[in-house]
């Protein structure tokens, strides 16, 4: 009997907030999806909510953040420009800034309160260690520490990796930390360059030109890959600190809603 | 002066988008680009061949996405670069996710740099 009562009570509790349009837990759940980086899930959930219940500012904002993270920008930017909420302006300024749309970014940043402007400028300066140190002064002291750890986590120079690979195909990959990629790059480049030279010596110019074209693709691809591997390695090593900084300085961008 | 500083500071920023952290996000991102002839030919030729591609999206999908946004030449160069990335095969360079019952490396084509 007690079990039946318990089940009925649980069912009653579960159905009490069954209507998502009035359930106060729906918005925090949507926010949690964005926080957990389940962007496609968040976008689909937000779309359902907006169709079913009409627009709410919080849902629109979270949907726009999810779409920005998914690189589905045009709708998100258009929606953010019509949102006109403090959090919406911060996300919009961040989106324009990282989208290299400096004129639009400046317009929005001017509307923000001074501390938010400073936070945005500091995050924008993050790739440059000295500029970040200057921009982060006066902000939360943890930001400077996180910035230092972010820069200390940078392990490889993409430019150096690219130059190495240009001098000796494969050496940039080796520097970036991949023996397999280095070996494959070296062997493939060696084969194609060797074939081009041999064919040209035999005066088979058409075939040599074809081999040379393929060789040039593998040569340039190898340089790009060496720089890319170094950049990826840095990004993966630095990402936890960048995320922490973003959460500290601009929590709205991560999907954290204000009170 | 402040505006100039902002322009200077934003010159080397990463894009807003993040790497996919789950199986749903890459599917969403891969659904958007239109099909290309290259992919159509490749798929019709190998329709019955079992795919063991380690990458998400596959090389042909990535090529089509890049060709559409960045042009053919860049797509070829990045395609070669991606082949070498596939050889690197390490979590130091890419994130792995479980997709179609297999662990695969994510490499979603980014901006045309």
- The 10s digit of each residue's pLDDT in A162-189 is 999 999 999 999 999 999 999 999 999 9
Q: Which of A87-91, A121-125, A170-174, B40-44 has the highest mean pLDDT?
A: A170-174
- B9–A128 CB contact, under 8 Å: yes
DSSP 3-state assignment of B105? strand
Residue B8 lies in a domain: no
Q: Which domain holds residue B89?
A: 20-45+53-106
- For B6, which of A72, A105, A181 is closest by C-beta distance? A105
Per-residue pLDDT averaged across B67-90, rounded?
Answer: 89
Residue B33 lies in a domain: yes
DSSP 3-state assignment of B20? coil
Between these two residues, A74 and A16, which has the higher pLDDT value?
Answer: A74
Residue B93 lies in a domain: yes
**Could you give the number of structural domains in chain B?**
1
What tokens were used for A36? 């957990």
> Chain B residue closest to A98 (CA)?
B15
Chain B contact probe: residue of A69, A164, A252 with most B CBs at under 10 A:
A69
Per-residue pLDDT averaged across A146-170, rounded?
Answer: 95
Tell me which DSSP letter residue B92 carries: T
Tell whether the model's pLDDT for residue A217 goes beyond 90.
yes
Per-residue pLDDT averaged across A196-222, rounded?
Answer: 94
**Residues found in chain A:** 259
Whether B27 has its CB under 8 Å from any CB of chain A: the answer is yes
The B residues from 34 to 73 touching A (CB cutoff 8 Å) are: none
DSSP 3-state assignment of B91? coil
CA distance A11 to chain B (A): 31
- Given a contact cutoff of 8 angstroms between Cβ atoms, the answer to whether B106 and B94 are in contact is yes
3-class secondary structure per residue, chain A: CHHHHHHHHHHHHHHHCCCCCCCCCHHHHHHHHHHCCCHHHHHHHHHHHHHHHCCCHHHHHHHHHHHHHCCCHHHHHHHHHCCCCHHHHHHHHHHHHHCCCHHHHHHHHHHCCHHHHHHHHHHHCCCCHHHHHHHHCCCCHHHHHHHHHHHHCCCCCHHHHHHHHHHCCCHHHHHHCCHHHHHHHHHHHHHHHHHHHHHHHCCCHHHHHHHHHHHHHHHHHHHHHHHHHHHHHHHHHHHHHHHHHHHHHCHHHHCCCCC
Residue B83 lies in a domain: yes
Model confidence, pTM: 0.79
- A70–B25 CB contact, under 8 Å: yes
Whether B32 has its CB under 8 Å from any CB of chain A: the answer is yes
| pLDDT (0 to 100) of residue A6 | 52
| pLDDT (0 to 100) of residue A125 | 87
Per-residue pLDDT averaged across A113-124, rounded?
Answer: 89
Which of the four pLDDT bands, split at 50, 70 and 90, describes residue A150? very high
> Chain B residue closest to A37 (CA)?
B21
| pLDDT (0 to 100) of residue A127 | 87
CA distance A9 to chain B (A): 35
| pLDDT (0 to 100) of residue B7 | 43
Tell me which DSSP letter residue B51 carries: P
- For A95, which of B6, B16, B18 is closest by C-beta distance? B16
What tokens were used for A89? 């302006």
| pLDDT (0 to 100) of residue A100 | 78
Whether B112 has its CB under 8 Å from any CB of chain A: the answer is no
Residue B7 lies in a domain: no
Which of the four pLDDT bands, split at 50, 70 and 90, describes residue A5? low
- Given a contact cutoff of 8 angstroms between Cβ atoms, the answer to whether B62 and B107 are in contact is yes
Residue B6 lies in a domain: no
Residue B28 lies in a domain: yes
| pLDDT (0 to 100) of residue B8 | 47
Tell whether the model's pLDDT for residue A218 goes beyond 90.
yes
- Given a contact cutoff of 8 angstroms between Cβ atoms, the answer to whether A123 and A131 are in contact is no
> Chain A residue closest to B18 (CA)?
A69
Average pLDDT, chain A: 89
Tell whether the model's pLDDT for residue A149 goes beyond 50.
yes
Instruction: Please state, for a pLDDT cut of 70, what percent of chain A lies above it.
Output: 92
What tokens were used for A140? 């939360």
CA gap B51, A155 in Å, rounded: 35
CA distance B85 to chain A (A): 7
Whether B91 has its CB under 8 Å from any CB of chain A: the answer is yes
Number of C-beta neighbours around residue A40 at 10 A? 24
Per-residue pLDDT averaged across A151-167, rounded?
Answer: 95
Residue B94 lies in a domain: yes
């Amino acid at each position: 009997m007690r079990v039946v009562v318990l089940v009925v009570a649980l069912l009653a509790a579960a159905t009490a907030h069954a209507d998502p349009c009035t359930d106060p837990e729906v918005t925090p759940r949507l926010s949690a999806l964005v926080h957990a980086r389940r962007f496609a899930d968040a976008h689909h959930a937000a779309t359902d909510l907006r169709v079913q219940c009409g627009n709410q500012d919080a849902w629109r904002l979270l949907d726009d953040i999810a779409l920005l993270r998914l690189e589905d920008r045009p709708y998100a930017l258009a929606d953010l420009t019509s949102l006109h909420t403090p959090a919406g302006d911060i996300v919009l300024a961040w989106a324009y800034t990282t989208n290299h749309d400096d004129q639009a970014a400046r317009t929005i940043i001017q509307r923000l309160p001074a501390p938010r402007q400073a936070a945005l400028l500091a995050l924008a300066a993050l790739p440059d260690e000295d500029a970040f140190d200057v921009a982060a002064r006066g902000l939360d002291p943890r930001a400077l520490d996180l910035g230092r750890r972010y820069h200390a986590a940078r392990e490889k120079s993409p430019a150096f990796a690219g130059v190495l690979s240009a001098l000796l195909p494969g050496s940039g990959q080796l520097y970036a930390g991949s023996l397999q990629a280095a070996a494959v790059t070296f062997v493939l480049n060696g084969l194609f360059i060797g074939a081009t030279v041999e064919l040209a010596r035999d005066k088979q110019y058409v075939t040599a030109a074809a081999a040379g074209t393929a060789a040039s693709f593998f040569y340039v691809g190898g340089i790009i890959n060496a720089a890319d591997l170094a950049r990826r390695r840095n990004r993966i090593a630095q990402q936890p600190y960048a995320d922490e900084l973003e959460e500290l300085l601009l929590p709205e961008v991560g999907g954290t809603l204000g009170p | 002066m402040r505006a100039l500083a902002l322009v200077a500071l934003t010159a080397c920023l990463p894009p807003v988008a993040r790497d996919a952290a789950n199986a749903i996000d890459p599917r969403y991102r891969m659904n958007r680009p239109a099909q290309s002839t290259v992919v159509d030919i490749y798929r019709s030729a190998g329709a019955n061949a079992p795919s063991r591609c380690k990458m998400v999206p596959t090389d042909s999908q990535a090529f089509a996405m890049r060709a559409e946004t960045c042009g053919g030449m860049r797509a070829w160069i990045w395609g070669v670069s991606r082949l070498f990335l596939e050889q690197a095969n390490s979590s130091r360079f890419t994130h792995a996710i479980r997709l179609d019952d297999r662990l695969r490396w994510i490499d979603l084509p980014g901006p045309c740099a």
